[in-house]
A and B are shown apart, each in its own frame.
Chain A
């Protein structure tokens, strides 16, 4: 099956700094990728849809100026958490749809655990 990687797998940063998380599709191209956030003991919440070559689409309640998404190529999307605060500490997971499009499954990255101190 298709493989999606994320980097870093975990990161600790100080409050007020920015953190960039990368999501890569390793063996397929993805014009669309999705970013999710998961707080402890909660389910995954969709944050935004990353579109190659165009602006990301954010879900209601997600601050687009705080969570910057750049989908610069067909295999890479980045999420930058700007001016991070402790409440941004969470598990961030990206995904991409398989090449079969609507009927294919979603392939998920292993996640990035962000801790803001």
Chain B
């Protein structure tokens, strides 16, 4: 059974810092991994999608990497801003059965002005 863990569970940093969020998964047989952002009381905003054959994806100040063999992904946020404050979730899509996503435990990020 796939299990997805995110470290740290919570993070508080001053504005301008570069930071790394970690996601690990137990079953490396995945199609892809997706990073999301969730603001309090809101739905999900897709940030980056990495296919299993890819090593990284970039969008603006965000860079996500994937090491499928070791079951790890990182989300790098450059020059953090208070507007980046949110919960970040990673989710993996397994290759068996349907295209369901298993979500990680989440990292609650607070960027201080």
Q: B42 touching A111 by the CB < 8 A rule?
A: yes
How many A-B Cβ pairs are below 8 Å? 58
Residues of A within 8 A of B43 (CB): 93, 108-111
Q: A46 touching B34 by the CB < 8 A rule?
A: no
Q: What's the dominant secondary structure at chain A's contact region?
A: strand
Residues of B within 8 A of A45 (CB): 103
Q: B95 touching A105 by the CB < 8 A rule?
A: no
For residue B28, CB closer than 8 A to chain A, the reply is: no
* B-side interface size class: 20 to 34
From A41, A57, A106, A109, contact of B91 by CB (8 A): A106
For residue B7, CB closer than 8 A to chain A, the reply is: no
Q: A49 touching B89 by the CB < 8 A rule?
A: no
**Scoring B residues 14 to 37 as 1 if CB is less than 8 Å from chain A, else 0, what string do you get?**
000000000000000001101010
CB of B96 to closest CB in A, whole Å: 11
Given A108-B43, A110-B42, A46 and B99 contact (CB-CB distance below 8 Å): no
Cα distance, A95 to B99, chains bound together (Å):
11
Binding site for B on A (CB under 8 A): 1, 32, 34, 36, 41-46, 49, 57, 91, 93, 95, 97, 101-103, 105-111, 113
Since A44-B103, A102-B93 are in contact, a sample of 18 more A-B pairs with Cβ atoms closer than 8 Å, ordered by chain A residue number, is: A34-B100, A34-B101, A43-B89, A44-B91, A46-B101, A57-B98, A91-B41, A93-B44, A101-B99, A102-B95, A103-B31, A103-B51, A105-B34, A106-B91, A106-B99, A106-B101, A108-B36, A111-B43
The 3 closest A-B pairs by CB, nearest first: A110-B43, A97-B99, A111-B43
